[in-house]
Amino acid sequence: QSVLTQPPSASGTPGQRVTISCSGSSSNIESNTVSWYQQLPKTAPKLLIYSSDERPSGVPDRFSGSKSGTSASLAISGLQSEDEGDYYCAVWDDSLKGYVFGTGTTVTVL
Amino acid sequence: EVQLVESGGGLVKPGGSLRLSCAASGFPFSGYCMNWVRQAPGKGLEWVSSISFTSKYIYNSDSVKGRFTISRDNAKNSLYLQMNGLRAEDTALYYCTRSSGIGNYSSDYWGQGTLVTVSS
Q: Quick one: pLDDT at residue B98?
A: 97
Q: Quick one: pLDDT at residue A67?
A: 97
Q: For the segment A56-109, what is each residue's pLDDT rounded down to a tens digit?
A: 999 999 999 999 999 999 999 999 999 999 999 999 999 999 999 999 999 999
Q: By the CB < 8 Å criterion, does A1 face chain B?
A: no
| Angstrom distances, CA of residue A87 to CA of A64, A99, A100, B41, B114 | 13, 16, 14, 16, 21
Q: For the segment B65-114, what is each residue's pLDDT rounded down to a tens digit?
A: 999 999 999 999 999 999 999 999 999 999 999 998 888 889 999 999 99
Residue A49 scores a pLDDT above 80: yes
End-to-end CA distance of chain A: 29
Nearest CA in chain B to A5: B44
What is the C-alpha to C-alpha distance for residues A98 and A9, in angstroms, rounded to an integer? 26
Question: Residue A39 — very low, low, confident or very high, per pLDDT cuts 50/70/90?
Answer: very high
Cα B39 versus chain centre, distance: 11
Question: B92 vs chain A: nearest CA distance in angstroms?
Answer: 13
What residues of A are in contact with residue B113 (Cβ under 8 Å)?
A: 44
Residue A37 scores a pLDDT above 90: yes
